[in-house]
A and B are shown apart, each in its own frame.
Chain A
Amino acid sequence: MSAAADVGSLAEGLRRELGAPAVEEIELDLEGARLGLRIAPGPGGALGAALRLLGEAATPALVRGGGTRSAFGHPVPRARVLLETRALLPPTVVDDEDGIAYLPAGAALCDLREHVRKVSEGRWEIPLDPPGDSSTLGGCLAAAAAGPLHAAPRDAVLGLDVTLASGEPTRCGGRVVKNVAGYDLAKLYVGSLGTLGVIEGAWLRLQPAPEAREVWWAPVDDPRQALAAARAASTRVAAWLSREVAAELGAELGENRAGPALLVELAGDAPAVEAEARAWAGRAGAQRLEQGDPMAWLRARQGRPRGLRVRVASLASALAEVARILEEHGAQVLAYPARGELHADVDFSPGVSGDATVERILRGARLAARAGQGDFVVEDAPLAIREVREMFGDPEPRLALFRALKAQYDPRGILNPGRQAGRV
């Protein structure tokens, strides 16, 4: 039977509820799933109605925003419907007097950033980094996607509108910047990979745009040595680049870089940035980068699939050791020392690279996480690997709670079943 025929009766109901243009029969193999329907419900009642029908039919959906982080998490082989969030476009509110905004989950984050910049006449920014041009706000929040500028999407969220698997529209948090009225469910939904509910819109706390900004780099042997610079008050971004990554950026900027380096963005009040820049100017080998946009390059590099990528968390004191372990296991390393975050890339081509490559990087990640007293997650891996390997370090100690949460929020298992840690 074809994938479309498999969901034929469901399609009828969905067309009645959503209108024909929002429902399309397809034959698509994606994320290990054989998908027969693509739906793009609008906000409010339409999304709720769609989820109710999926629940009644016990038909799981692969929930997807811009698709830029689709290789993060486990595959969803039981899904039969592709639920796209691009039509979740409730009206936007930018309150530039209060420094907050309500933004639609289905919109591209790049577009929203530009919108906020325009409306606020450049005074406010959205404190989220889009992994790619088509990344949606909802996708970034569901994946808790961090970038070079902003590490913690959870901290930007004031409130969320979320439609639960039952089809019930719900709200948590609100538009104010401080709130302890009830459980902080937004924390739970951010990073839940769409397994607990579908985000429709979000109240975000905006961030004042910096008055001044400069980018510098300097040779620095390891990420622990980079810490002092990374922790300086005017440093907004500090990225330590292993030899190969520094060479990549050098090539992008038309320069020849021979060794590991620290790349920093100073940002904030002009007098502070100027003072910090003077200190940088006196540092051996330091150079101000005035050409190109290294931060955009970093963001794009982080968003670009490499084949195999692992993110490891480490305590500051173990950063050098963790980077060394990852490099010894064949990875190129990009680290954010102030956050204790290391990204380890291995160029991997399915069919060409062997299992030994996978084993090696996963072994390296485990050792590195242990050395750093942290955890690791596989952020990018081919489908065949994600089908058989755990992508979230060792979720076992918390697995019972994860399963209990999934059972409560999505008892029929219709929202990205299996995608989360421990295949929840």
Chain B
Amino acid sequence: MAPALEDELRQVVGSSHVLSRPEELLVYEADGLTHHSATPRAVVLPADKTEVVQIVKRCRAHGVPFVPRGAGTGLSGGALALDGGVVIECARMNRILRIDPEDRIAVVQPGVVNADLSKRVAPHGLFYAPDPSSQQACTLGGNVAENSGGPHTLKYGTTTNHVLALELVLPDGKLVQLGSATGMTVGYDLVGAVVGSEGTLGVVTEATMRLSPIPERVETLLGIFGEVVSACRAVGRMIRSGLVPAALEIVDRRTIEAVEASVYAAGLPTDAGAVLIVEVDGPAPAVARQVERVREHCVAEGADQVQVARDEAERQRFWRARKGAFGAMGRLAPDLYVHDAVVPRRKLPEILESICEIGDRHGLRLSNVFHAGDGNLHPNISFDRRDADEMARVLAAGEEILRTCVEAGGVISGEHGIGTEKRDFMGLLYSEADLEAMKKLRAAFDPTLVCNPGKLFPTTRFCVEANPKARGYDQVPLG
């Protein structure tokens, strides 16, 4: 890093909030996708929007790119500073600025942890609906960047459905307000464009979030199936019937085995092919009826057993199996590749079979835990990246899975984003013209490509613009 820039950044945020020693930067080499890494030149931790504006302006003046980062729980390499850029770490901007129960809104800084918002508004009978599995750690700024989902998006939608307004520092350092607390859009829907843009259109410094009322009643069911495809068929039956549960999650046999051998053990039968967790919520009379409908659909598809949680403790136990799955699988191997793709829900049974076959054929330990109601698959591969041969098989299987999902009418990411992980697979889904249309949006916000460059778009196209080695792409194994 040019000393002049480092000095300038220290003047903006104070010396203790600029990290530049190798051991300090190590933490920022990767996000949750550990087999992609790149070392930033520096990490800067602003306290507020005025500091963000100054950081962006100074980076720009020095021709140094910058990357906004939340908690680093992302799973697509989206928060990597690929080209020796500066990471703008939002952890100090972690205040909930306003909670308005009657208006059902909260204004937050980007570093607020997702679960903390729901905890803070619960006394008002409200909650923040998007609940990614990492919600105890991930930040709302990161959620906005990735348009994060979670198990309850089936009924409540993803982050984009819950962001009303944004304050954004544009890549040229200007501060703009997008949207309004009322949710009304005047002119182009810029909030809709920015949510899910993976931090490439600017740095979010404030967000106005929609809060939802805690439902009158919640019931959680656990369907135990002999085969994962039967659980998938039960999901299909529910969707077809017009039933919209709050969540429809499947955990397969291999995941159950891992969970039951871990601290997350939930007492699930390890001889089951899969469990289906179904949560229904709403007015009490409707929920009682929906519980019966769910039970009927599960039984019709051959469920061995359908349990309804008798109390909150049991409900939490059911969810522990789902939410603790990734942690439990961490015990199986040094690395875990959490894949993410979406298929039409009716195709779940056949796609699940294909995915398991792909994993077996490549000799990999592949398990599935996924948002079945959305068709959002998470094939998880436990592996050791130090084993070059296994690493190659992991990447080959991953590509094959993506191709299979796209051929079935699906897409290559449902909630993790593209980042560096899938940028070279965008061509599976989109034509040159489709990608050019996306680049027009990018160009309107960031014509000089200084904000989180190297994400989303295929590298072959970026290679035309700059030497990939100089931009740091050579640090990213692409398989």
Contact = CB atoms under 8 A, between A and B. Distances in A.
A178 B433 contact: no
Interface stretch (B17-25, B65-73, B98-106, B471-479): B98-106
A119 interface: no
Contacts of A374: 180-182, 184
Contact of A276 (B102, B283, B412, B422): B283
Interface stretch (B40-48, B220-228, B434-442): B434-442
A97 B240 contact: yes
Contacts, number: 253
Contact of A185 (B158, B284, B438): B438
A184 interface: yes
Interface stretch (A36-44, A241-249, A344-352, A403-411): A403-411
Contacts of A178: 149, 153, 158, 342, 371, 374-376, 414-415
Given A188-B193, A271-B289, A405-B440, 9 more contacts: A98-B239, A169-B433, A176-B344, A271-B285, A315-B100, A341-B184, A395-B186, A398-B176, A408-B444
Contacts of A190: 189, 192
Nearest to A393: B186
B213 A231 contact: yes
A164 interface: yes
Interface in B384-437: 409-418, 422, 426, 429-431, 433-437
B11 interface: no
B285 A402 contact: no
B244 interface: yes
A208 B244 CA distance: 8
A180 B102 contact: no
A28 interface: no
Given A188-B441, A316-B102, A392-B187, A398 B178 contact: yes
A377 B186 CA distance: 7
B141 interface: no
Contacts of A284: none
- Contact count band on B: 35 or more
B177 A392 contact: no
A269 interface: yes
A398 B197 CA distance: 18
A187 B438 CA distance: 12
B187 A395 contact: yes
A373 interface: yes
Interface in A330-370: 339-341
Contacts of A227: 102
A398 B283 contact: no
Contacts of A181: 411-413, 418, 422, 426, 429-430
B459 interface: no
Interface residues of A, number: 81
B309 to A, nearest CB: 20
A98 B344 contact: yes
Of B180, B241, B443, most A-chain CB atoms within 10 Å: B180
Nearest to A183: B438
Contacts of B192: 154, 184, 187-188, 190
Closest 3 CB pairs of A and B: A187-B192, A208-B242, A421-B187
Contacts of B344: 95, 98, 100, 175-176
Given A185-B437, A373-B181, A272 B283 contact: yes
B440 A408 contact: yes
B375 A313 contact: no
Nearest to A340: B182
Given A187-B160, A313-B180, A404-B444, A98 B342 contact: no
29 contacts: A99-B239, A123-B242, A164-B437, A168-B433, A170-B433, A172-B434, A174-B409, A174-B410, A174-B411, A178-B342, A180-B414, A181-B429, A183-B196, A185-B438, A185-B441, A188-B189, A197-B437, A208-B242, A233-B215, A233-B216, A234-B283, A269-B290, A274-B285, A311-B184, A313-B183, A373-B180, A398-B177, A398-B187, A408-B441
A36 B402 CA distance: 50
A394 B166 CA distance: 17
A375 interface: yes
B145 to A, nearest CB: 10
Nearest to B236: A97
Contacts of B342: 176-179
Contacts of B324: none
A135 interface: no
Interface in B130-154: 146-147, 149, 153
B282 interface: yes
A98 B237 CA distance: 10
A99 B240 CA distance: 7
Nearest to A272: B286
A340 B105 CA distance: 12
Interface in B269-316: 282-286, 288-290
Contacts of A392: 186-187
Given A98-B239, A180-B414, A402-B187, A375 B182 contact: yes
A95 B408 CA distance: 14
A363 to B, nearest CB: 18
B190 interface: yes
A306 B286 CA distance: 40
Of A144, A405, A422, most B-chain CB atoms within 10 Å: A405
Of A123, A155, A375, most B-chain CB atoms within 10 Å: A375
B388 to A, nearest CB: 29
B345 A272 contact: no
Contacts of A123: 241-242
A372 B290 contact: no
Given A233-B283, A268-B286, A377-B186, A182 B440 contact: no
A179 B159 CA distance: 12
B15 interface: no
Contacts of A313: 180, 182-184
A179 B409 CA distance: 12
A184 B239 contact: no
Given A182-B456, A272-B283, A420-B187, A176 B414 contact: yes
A401 interface: yes
A62 to B, nearest CB: 19
A170 B412 contact: no
Contacts of B289: 269-272
Contacts of A85: none
A336 to B, nearest CB: 12
A372 B161 CA distance: 21
A314 interface: yes
A324 to B, nearest CB: 17
Interface in A204-259: 208-209, 227, 231, 233-234
Interface string A48-88: 00000000000000000000000000000000000000000
A176 B196 contact: no
Given A175-B409, A179-B342, A184-B195, A144 B185 contact: yes
Of A340, A341, A424, most B-chain CB atoms within 10 Å: A340
Contacts of B443: 404, 408
A305 interface: no
A387 interface: no
Contacts of B195: 184, 187
A270 B343 CA distance: 32
A275 B285 CA distance: 7
Given A97-B346, A169-B433, A314-B182, A176 B375 contact: yes
B199 to A, nearest CB: 12
Given A171-B434, A188-B193, A182 B426 contact: yes
